[in-house]
């Protein structure tokens, strides 16, 4: 199906030509003045939560895991951070592509129109955050305005609230920086014809005032037939020093995304359908997604003294989304495929208010870091869904001939769902970090009240439910030396019965208690030197109170339970001069351990590979020339909890070349899937399987002034 040979020749010839063109550069670089040196690469997180300033490898910010100024080495949970330098080196512009290099995270296809992931085996579309505030709508997130991405693993209710059973994904924004005028621009073009243009201007406007303007325009393309789309994003942000002890930050983000909805391939004989990796199993004129996102945020910080501070944040977010798609289904044969379809629209408005008081003080020989916080949210969601009908409105699915180009018969639409929901929450939390020398204790508790009212207009049902939950967290950290932490932790989280989107509350869900998550973890964090961090963790995550249908009585009970046991290793930083690495390995053993249906017990959880390896490294041969390489490996995994379809194991190898042409211009070539591996990295059930892209390359240029 694919013309791999032609693309392979083009990409590898371009790569060799680039190497030949820039390899002589080291001789010139040796005599260049020191000011021509390439900027230091940062693969460890900087000590910035609000300001977005970039620091050296020595900084390690773990404050997103505690809401307090805490080094990452003293946070009692596994955390993976992807810095802006690593994102730039990998040529990554979207969140889902960045998460491929995070151990313990596997991607769901998201039905071709949203970010959706599994973290430690727990599927989520809503555990996404922006500077610690929930960003839970279903859409693809760009990284043009992001300083770094943090993945905090294990139950996180104390810090993040509901959900976050397997973990939470937090994006740290770039904001305006005082006294640092700077303009950056970049362009990137790949062999499929996709391209991205970005601009970033930081402007000190007056004493104590700075403005930053960020924008991007992208056009999408890949190996799949008819796939295309475009993204436009714009983010202005303001930083103001209101006094010696008070700071104010304001940001507005507008994102506009239009793209083809690609639902991937069906399965056959227990695996992905072979020979049709380019075939589009949909209608090119109908499979479309369109979303507009408006997010306005303000944050005020005030220092009462050297030890006590207050921060308060307000976020308003408006998400207006519509998508429509024809979808491949089960029953595929060697000559036919089954199709169905639907379209859906969602309009959501979220308002979040959060305030935290942080105190750092001592009582005798004891050190204290105290957090007291509160959060209130409202969320209004209107949703509609219409079903596709074939054969003059008499059938919800149709069987068509399997071919390189799928012929979709004429269809009509019929209402399937229309709903409106209003969610209000109130949260109170407190946490104490006690330092008694060689031992540190972290203990906290969060109270959440969820008040959901929902109306299903099609089913003529209005329901309401109030849930009140208390979520504890406890950690013990042994520090035999400053650069070594050995920790044990316990944390809980929960997920209300309406699910992570709260779109509609069914009559059945109205009577169900929330699901519960418990995470037990033992770990080690060691910094052998100031620019390197080694981490290891072994954990057990139990999900219980899961709805389960008794096949005898056909009644839904809450006896369902699943466990995920595993361990992970990570190494990030600069082990030797010139070499930057981000390495990870995860082992996961995930299965259903209890169910009202005994046949479910022992089922392996969907899309949880037993073994996962993620590796990225960059080595700078000289101040001007560098090389990069990456590896992603996942063992085979089941496409769904049916365990009927297997996504085969795969190993993908990437490569890159970096060249500092001048003090202000840098060039790079990134090659994805260097050895042209056929692989299927993600799915949405058994019959929406996404084929990975073949060998392809992108060329990028970056200007900085």
Burial (Cβ within 10 Å: 0-12, 13-18, ≥19) of residue 703: middle
User: Residue 338 corresponds to which tokens in the numbers above?
Assistant: 């089954």
Mean pLDDT of the 337-347 span? 97
User: What local confidence, expressed as pLDDT, does residue 42 receive?
Assistant: 60
CA 398 to chain centre: 35
- Strand segments, DSSP code E, in 364-411 are 366-389, 398-401
Print burial letters for 450-484: b (CB count within 10 Å at least 16), e (below 16). Answer: bebebbbeeeeeebebebebebebbbebebeeeee
User: What local confidence, expressed as pLDDT, does residue 53 receive?
Assistant: 36
CA 302 to chain centre: 31
CB atoms within 10 A of CB 3: 10
User: What local confidence, expressed as pLDDT, does residue 509 receive?
Assistant: 85
**47 closest CA partner among 611, 530, 415, 587:** 530
Reduced to 3 states (helix: H, G, I; strand: E, B; else coil), residue 3 is coil
| Measured distance CA(643)–CA(653) in Å, rounded | 28
| Measured distance CA(261)–CA(282) in Å, rounded | 8
| Percent of the residues in the chain that have a pLDDT greater than 70, as a whole number | 92
User: What local confidence, expressed as pLDDT, does residue 39 receive?
Assistant: 44
User: Residue 226 corresponds to which tokens in the numbers above?
Assistant: 């008819």
Spatial contact of 697 and 671, defined as CB atoms under 8 Å apart: yes
| Measured distance CA(597)–CA(582) in Å, rounded | 42
User: Does the pLDDT of residue 570 top 90, yes or no?
Assistant: yes
CATH number of 4-704: 2.40.170.20
Residue the block writes with tokens 């900087």: 46
Residue the block writes with tokens 């030890």: 307
pLDDT band at 374 (very low <50, low <70, confident <90, very high): very high
Residue the block writes with tokens 């003080």: 361
Mean pLDDT of the 192-202 span? 97
User: What local confidence, expressed as pLDDT, does residue 43 receive?
Assistant: 62
**184 closest CA partner among 171, 197, 194:** 197
**251 closest CA partner among 131, 400, 97:** 131
User: What local confidence, expressed as pLDDT, does residue 18 receive?
Assistant: 39
Q: Are strands 128-130 and 167-173 parallel, antiparallel or unpaired?
A: parallel
User: Residue 529 corresponds to which tokens in the numbers above?
Assistant: 């030197």
pLDDT band at 548 (very low <50, low <70, confident <90, very high): confident
| Measured distance CA(366)–CA(432) in Å, rounded | 12
Mean pLDDT of the 360-365 span? 95
Residues contacting 182, CB < 8 A, separation 6+:
200, 201, 202, 704, 705
User: Residue 137 corresponds to which tokens in the numbers above?
Assistant: 């709508």
User: Residue 682 corresponds to which tokens in the numbers above?
Assistant: 């993600």
Q: Which helix (H) or strand (E) holds 63?
A: none
Spatial contact of 519 and 541, defined as CB atoms under 8 Å apart: yes
User: Does the pLDDT of residue 16 top 90, yes or no?
Assistant: no
Residues contacting 133, CB < 8 A, separation 6+:
297, 313, 315, 352, 354
User: What local confidence, expressed as pLDDT, does residue 8 receive?
Assistant: 44
Spatial contact of 108 and 606, defined as CB atoms under 8 Å apart: no
User: Does the pLDDT of residue 135 top 60, yes or no?
Assistant: yes
pLDDT tens for 517-545 read 999 999 999 999 878 999 999 999 999 99
Mean pLDDT of the 645-669 span? 97
Reduced to 3 states (helix: H, G, I; strand: E, B; else coil), residue 288 is strand
pLDDT tens for 49-108 read 333 333 332 347 889 999 999 999 999 999 999 988 899 999 999 999 999 999 999 999
| Measured distance CA(631)–CA(616) in Å, rounded | 7
User: What local confidence, expressed as pLDDT, does residue 693 receive?
Assistant: 95
CB atoms within 10 A of CB 582: 26
- Could you say which DSSP state residue 277 is in? T
Mean pLDDT of the 437-464 span? 94
- Phi, psi (deg, nearest 5) at residue 502: 55, 35
Q: Which helix (H) or strand (E) holds 7?
A: helix 4-22
**Mean per-residue pLDDT of the chain:** 90
User: What local confidence, expressed as pLDDT, does residue 595 receive?
Assistant: 93
User: What local confidence, expressed as pLDDT, does residue 553 receive?
Assistant: 84
- Domain ranges in the chain? 4-704
Instruction: Determine what percent of the chain falls in helix, strand and coil, rounding each to the nearest 5.
Output: 10, 55, 35
- More confident position, 161 or 11: 161
């Amino acid at each position: 199906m694919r013309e791999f040979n032609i693309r392979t020749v083009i990409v590898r010839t371009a790569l060799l030509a680039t190497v030949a063109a820039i390899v002589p550069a080291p001789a010139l670089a040796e005599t260049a003045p020191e000011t021509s040196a390439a900027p230091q690469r940062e693969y460890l997180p900087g000590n910035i939560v609000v300001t977005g300033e970039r620091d050296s490898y020595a900084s390690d910010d773990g404050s997103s895991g505690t809401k307090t100024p805490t080094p990452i080495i003293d946070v009692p949970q596994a955390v993976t951070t992807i810095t802006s330098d690593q994102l730039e080196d990998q040529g990554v512009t979207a969140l889902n592509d960045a998460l491929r290099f995070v151990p313990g995270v596997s991607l769901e296809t998201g039905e071709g129109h949203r970010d959706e992931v599994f973290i430690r085996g727990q599927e989520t579309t809503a555990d996404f955050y922006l500077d610690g505030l929930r960003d839970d709508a279903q859409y693809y997130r760009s990284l043009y305005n992001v300083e770094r991405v943090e993945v905090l693993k294990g139950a996180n209710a104390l810090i993040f609230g509901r959900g976050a059973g397997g973990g939470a994904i937090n994006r740290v924004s770039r904001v305006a920086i005082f006294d640092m005028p700077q303009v950056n621009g970049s362009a990137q073009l790949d062999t499929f014809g996709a391209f991205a243009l970005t601009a970033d201007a930081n402007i000190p406007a007056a004493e104590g005032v700075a403005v930053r303007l960020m924008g991007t325009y992208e056009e999408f393309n890949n190996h799949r037939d008819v796939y295309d789309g475009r993204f436009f994003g714009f983010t202005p942000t303001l930083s103001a020093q209101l006094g010696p002890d008070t700071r104010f930050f304001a940001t507005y983000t507008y994102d506009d995304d239009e793209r083809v909805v690609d639902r991937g391939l069906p399965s056959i004989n227990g695996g992905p359908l072979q020979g049709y990796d380019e075939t589009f199993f949909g209608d090119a004129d109908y499979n479309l997604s369109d979303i507009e996102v408006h997010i306005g945020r303000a944050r005020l910080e005030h220092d009462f003294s050297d030890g006590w501070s207050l921060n308060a944040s307000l976020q308003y977010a408006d998400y207006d989304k519509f998508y429509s798609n024809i979808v491949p289904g089960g029953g595929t044969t060697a000559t036919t495929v089954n199709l169905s379809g639907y379209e859906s629209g969602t309009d959501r408005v979220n308002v979040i208010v959060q305030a935290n008081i942080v105190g750092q003080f001592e009582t005798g020989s004891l050190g204290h870091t105290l957090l007291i916080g509160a959060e209130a949210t409202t969320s209004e969601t209107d949703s509609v869904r219409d079903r596709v009908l074939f054969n003059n409105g008499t059938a919800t699915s149709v069987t068509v001939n399997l071919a390189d180009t799928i012929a979709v018969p004429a269809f009509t639409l019929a209402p399937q769902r229309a709903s409106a929901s209003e969610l209000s929450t109130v949260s109170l939390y407190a946490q104490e970090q006690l330092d008694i020398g060689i031992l540190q204790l972290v203990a906290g508790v969060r109270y959440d009240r969820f008040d959901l009212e929902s109306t299903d207009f099609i089913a003529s049902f209005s329901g309401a439910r109030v849930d009140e939950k208390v979520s504890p967290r406890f950690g013990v950290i042994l520090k035999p030396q400053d650069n070594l932490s050995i920790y044990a932790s316990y944390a809980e989280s929960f997920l209300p019965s309406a699910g992570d989107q709260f779109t509609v509350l069914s009559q059945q869900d109205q009577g169900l208690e929330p699901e519960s998550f418990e995470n037990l973890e033992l770990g080690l964090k060691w910094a052998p030197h100031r620019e390197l961090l080694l981490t290891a963790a072994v954990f057990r995550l139990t999900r219980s109170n899961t709805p389960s249908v008794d096949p005898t009585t056909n009644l839904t009970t809450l006896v369902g339970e699943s466990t995920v046991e595993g361990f992970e290793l990570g190494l990030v930083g600069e082990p030797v001069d010139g070499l930057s690495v981000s390495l990870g390995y995860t082992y996961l053993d995930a299965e259903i351990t209890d169910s009202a249906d005994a046949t479910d017990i022992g089922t392996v959880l969907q899309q949880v590979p037993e073994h996962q390896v993620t590796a990225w490294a960059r080595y700078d041969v000289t101040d001007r020339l560098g090389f990069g390489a990456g590896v992603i490996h996942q063992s085979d995994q089941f496409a769904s909890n049916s365990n009927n379809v297997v996504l085969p194991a795969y190993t993908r190898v990437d490569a890159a070349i970096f060249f500092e042409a001048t003090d202000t211009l840098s060039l790079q070539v990134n090659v994805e899937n260097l050895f042209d591996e056929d692989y299927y990295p993600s799915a949405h059930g058994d019959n929406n399987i996404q084929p990975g892209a073949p060998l392809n390359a992108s060329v990028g240029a970056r200007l900085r002034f």
